[in-house]
Amino acid sequence: MSYEHVLERLHAAAYRSGRRPEEITLLVVSKNQPPSAILAIYAKGQRLFGENRVQELLAKKPALPADIQWHFVGHLQTNKVKALLPHITLLHSLDRESLVAELVRRAAAPVPCLLEVKIAQEPTKHGIPPADVERWVEHLLSLPQIRLRGLMGMASLTTDERQVRREFRTLRQLFERLRSRYPELAWDILSMGMSADFEWAIEEGSTLIRVGSAIFTP
The full set of domains in the chain, from first to last, is 3-216 (3.20.20.10)
pLDDT of amino acid 13: 98
pLDDT of amino acid 1: 58
Closest to 150 measured CA to CA, from 73, 207, 195: 207
208-211 and 69-72: which strand pairing?
Answer: unpaired
For 203, other C-beta atoms within 10 Å of its C-beta total: 18
- For 11-37, the pLDDT digits (tens) are 999 999 999 999 999 999 999 999 999
Mean pLDDT of 38-53: 97
The better pLDDT of the pair 121, 177 is held by 177
Cα-Cα-Cα-Cα dihedral sign, residues 114, 211, 129, 57:
negative
The mean pLDDT value of the chain amounts to 95
Closest to 167 measured CA to CA, from 211, 114, 127: 127
* pLDDT confidence bin for 217, thresholds 50/70/90: confident
Under 8 Å CB-to-CB from 92, ≥6 apart: which residues?
50, 71, 72, 73, 113, 114, 116, 152, 191, 210
* pLDDT confidence bin for 117, thresholds 50/70/90: very high
* pLDDT confidence bin for 126, thresholds 50/70/90: confident
pLDDT of amino acid 122: 78
pLDDT of amino acid 183: 86
- For 136-177, the pLDDT digits (tens) are 999 999 999 999 999 999 999 999 999 999 999 999 999 999
Cα of first residue to Cα of last residue in the chain, in angstroms, is 6
Minimum mean pLDDT range among 55-59, 66-70, 126-130, 151-155? 126-130
